[in-house]
Amino acid sequence: MDVEDWLTRLSLFKEDALRREIIDKAQLVEIPAHTTILREGQYVKTIPLVVEGVVKVFREEGQREQLLYYIYPNESCIISIHCGFNNSKSHVKAITERQSTLILIPSFESATWQKKYPSFNLFVLNLYQKRFDDLLEAYDALAFQRLDARILSHLEMKRDILKISSIRITHKALADELGAARESVSRTLKKLESEGKVQLQHGLIVLLG
Amino acid sequence: MDVEDWLTRLSLFKEDALRREIIDKAQLVEIPAHTTILREGQYVKTIPLVVEGVVKVFREEGQREQLLYYIYPNESCIISIHCGFNNSKSHVKAITERQSTLILIPSFESATWQKKYPSFNLFVLNLYQKRFDDLLEAYDALAFQRLDARILSHLEMKRDILKISSIRITHKALADELGAARESVSRTLKKLESEGKVQLQHGLIVLLG
DNA sequence: CCCGAACTGTGACCGACGTCACTGAAATCC
DNA sequence: GGATTTCAGTGACGTCGGTCACAGTTCGGG
């Protein structure tokens, strides 16, 4: 599979001229799991379009991290586009959650392409919309929900995406994603288990109900 | 001042045809302070473009509210556009902070206008960018900052906008904007006063330093 | 100028969650 | 199959901020 194959499959960009420009200027990369693809304070020169795998985007401060959202196939990181536009630094970090395939599109073209190609403009716009929703949801969770509810909905989200109700994750990793302490997560999971909402095994959480 | 006058003054929309469409279909309204212009669960039919005054946008859940951002002159609420686009319900509330003048633009046109008029497209895009930043900042504050820091930066933000370092606000109102309890805000303000960072008078907070 | 309403200050208390310090259990690796 | 690393469970305790209950202060209108 090369860039052209993926573009055809994604059918995100309608105009032939746009596809040709992307094929010409973008490169396809395979990235192993748990690799940083965007760090804080970095100027962003490419838009990473995820075609396979998952990328996690989060804020980091000191020891704590706070998940913003995940990027799934067919999507990209709005923040890259955002920073490319404003020529500003990134305030977030992005790492691959597992082995992933990305198309790296140079971002300096994006403003031009948005003017020239309606489908590229729509792509960016849809992305902003989606991320805005994601962010609003994340904000909401932080502002109004307690840890038990946050854990549960986080797990449900994972289940819906992976389409498996047995989620392979350690308490530590879960805690990190939620910006919480491992001990609190362990305790809360125990509570959820006693309430019959999950079932716990070593390195594995099974959602019930 | 009518819609046409304001549009000329704002110089946000370049195309004559677009301006004519807006003048034709939009209406200018004066809204008193503290009036709800968008409530939760409502389908949104108009884009409120603020030309004078300030509008506060926030999430509400039970008794607590949580500020998302303010809309100042020349800006609009991205959520209205967002909901118009997806024909989805609003998840936020918006109220005027003071007497405000708005241009209400019917939102069902917005998708068309974005295709037809570059300046309208840019307007929407810039709005998404700005709000995305605002939201990210709000999220950050919630995730990583304690009340004293949040109060201080909130006040500084107000100062920068109003260009006055004496901010006329009650502790209750400030607490609401931060989604905190009044007593905590009062106590924290006292602490900030003893640290020489602010000066307190009845209904007034003066930023020092 | 007085009274009631709105605003502010403060103590007592509590709940949620973070931190520290362990212990025990599973998994992994020679 | 023991040793080591990683993961999970748990008690003790601290901190931040919310809630409750009131008291004191300031303001604005009749």
SS3 category, A13 = coil
Q: Which of residues 101-160 of B touch strand D (CB under 7 A)?
A: 146-148
- Residue A80's closest CA among A52, A106, A51? A106
Could you give the dihedral angle defined by the CA atoms of residues A49, A55, A58 and A64, in that order, rounded to the nearest 10 degrees?
A: -160
Given a contact cutoff of 8 angstroms between Cβ atoms, the answer to whether A155 and A207 are in contact is yes
What is d(CA A105, CA A9) in angstroms, rounded to the nearest whole number? Answer: 17
Those of residues 84-103 in A touching chain B at CB distance below 8 A are 85-86, 91-92
**Backbone torsion region of residue B143, taken as left when φ is above 0, otherwise alpha when ψ lies between -120 and 50, otherwise beta:** alpha
Partner residues linked to A201 by β-bridges: A204
Q: How confident is the model at residue A141 (pLDDT cuts 50, 70, 90)?
A: very high
Mean pLDDT of chain B: 92
Asked if A43 is an interface residue toward chain B (Cβ–Cβ < 8 A), one would say no
- Residue A94's closest CA among A129, A64, A70? A70
What is d(CA B186, CA B172) in angstroms, rounded to the nearest whole number? Answer: 9
DSSP letter string, B170-203: -HHHHHHHHT--HHHHHHHHHHHHHTTSEEEETT
Task: Measure CB to CB from residue A132 to each of B82, B114, B143 and give the nearest one.
Answer: B82
Asked if B37 is an interface residue toward chain A (Cβ–Cβ < 8 A), one would say no
Position A107 pLDDT exceeds 90: no
The residue count of chain B comes to 209
Asked if B139 is an interface residue toward chain A (Cβ–Cβ < 8 A), one would say yes
Chain D: positions less than 7 Å from a protein CB are 6-12, 16-21, 26-27
**pLDDT-above-70 percentage for chain B:** 100
Pairwise CB contact (< 8 Å): A139 & B144: no
For B161, the token pair is 């906008």
Asked if B112 is an interface residue toward chain A (Cβ–Cβ < 8 A), one would say no
Query: For A27-81, how does the pLDDT look when each residue is reduced to its tens digit (9 = 90+)?
Result: 999 999 889 999 888 888 899 999 999 999 999 887 788 999 999 999 999 888 8
Q: Which of residues 173-192 of B touch strand D (CB under 7 A)?
A: 179-181, 183-184, 188
Could you give the dihedral angle defined by the CA atoms of residues B34, B36, B37 and B42, in that order, rounded to the nearest 10 degrees?
A: 170
What is d(CA B99, CA B6) in angstroms, rounded to the nearest whole number? Answer: 17
CA distance to partner chain A, nearest, from residue B2 (Å): 31
What is d(CA B122, CA B13) in angstroms, rounded to the nearest whole number? Answer: 9
What is d(CA A9, CA A70) in angstroms, rounded to the nearest whole number? Answer: 21
Give the least confident one: A4-13, B24-33, B86-95: B86-95
Q: What is the pTM of this model?
A: 0.92
Q: Which nucleotide is nearest to B204 (CA to C1')?
A: C7
Query: For A109-125, how does the pLDDT look when each residue is reduced to its tens digit (9 = 90+)?
Result: 888 999 899 999 999 99
Given a contact cutoff of 8 angstroms between Cβ atoms, the answer to whether A79 and A31 are in contact is no
Residue A74, judged by CB atoms within 10 A of its CB (0-12, 13-18, 19+), counts as middle
Position A1 pLDDT exceeds 90: no
Q: Searching chain B, which residue's CA lies closest to the CA of residue A124?
A: B125
Q: How confident is the model at residue A26 (pLDDT cuts 50, 70, 90)?
A: very high
Query: For B96-131, how does the pLDDT look when each residue is reduced to its tens digit (9 = 90+)?
Result: 988 899 999 998 888 899 989 999 999 999 999 999
- Residue A168's closest CA among A202, A193, A204? A204
Region A5-30 average pLDDT: 94
What is d(CA A58, CA A39) in angstroms, rounded to the nearest whole number? Answer: 10
pLDDT at res. A169: 96
Q: Which nucleotide is nearest to B64 (CA to C1')?
A: D18
CA distance to partner chain A, nearest, from residue B82 (Å): 7
Given a contact cutoff of 8 angstroms between Cβ atoms, the answer to whether A14 and A119 are in contact is yes
What is d(CA B120, CA B127) in angstroms, rounded to the nearest whole number? Answer: 11
Mean pLDDT of chain A: 92
- Residue B110's closest CA among B100, B125, B91, B89? B125
Position A155 pLDDT exceeds 90: yes
Query: For B42-83, how does the pLDDT look when each residue is reduced to its tens digit (9 = 90+)?
Result: 888 899 999 999 999 999 887 788 999 999 999 999 888 888
Asked if B140 is an interface residue toward chain A (Cβ–Cβ < 8 A), one would say yes
Q: Searching chain A, which residue's CA lies closest to the CA of residue B118?
A: A115
Specify the residue for token string 């389409």.
A163
Given a contact cutoff of 8 angstroms between Cβ atoms, the answer to whether B134 and B107 are in contact is no
Give the 3-state DSSP-derived string for A155-202, with helices as H, strands as E and coil as C.
Answer: HHHHHHHHCCCEECCCHHHHHHHHCCCHHHHHHHHHHHHHCCCEEEEC
* Phi and psi torsions of B41, nearest 5°: 80, 5
Partner residues linked to A38 by β-bridges: A94
Position A203 pLDDT exceeds 90: yes
Position A173 pLDDT exceeds 90: yes
Asked if B143 is an interface residue toward chain A (Cβ–Cβ < 8 A), one would say yes
What is d(CA A162, CA A158) in angstroms, rounded to the nearest whole number? Answer: 6
Chain C: positions less than 7 Å from a protein CB are 6-12, 16-21, 26-27
B chain contacts of residue A139, beta-carbon cutoff 8 Å:
59, 66, 68, 135, 138-139, 142
B chain contacts of residue A90, beta-carbon cutoff 8 Å:
none
What is d(CA A24, CA B73) in angstroms, rounded to the nearest whole number? Answer: 43
Task: Measure CB to CB from residue A142 to each of B64, B68, B139 and give the nearest one.
Answer: B139
SS3 category, A117 = coil
Q: Searching chain B, which residue's CA lies closest to the CA of residue A83?
A: B129
- Which amino acid belongs to residue B20? R
Task: Measure CB to CB from residue B132 to each of A64, A121, A131 and give the nearest one.
Answer: A131
A chain contacts of residue B111, beta-carbon cutoff 8 Å:
none
Pairwise CB contact (< 8 Å): B129 & A82: yes
For A131, the token pair is 């991320």
- Residue B205's closest CA among B163, B155, B162? B155
Pairwise CB contact (< 8 Å): B135 & A140: no
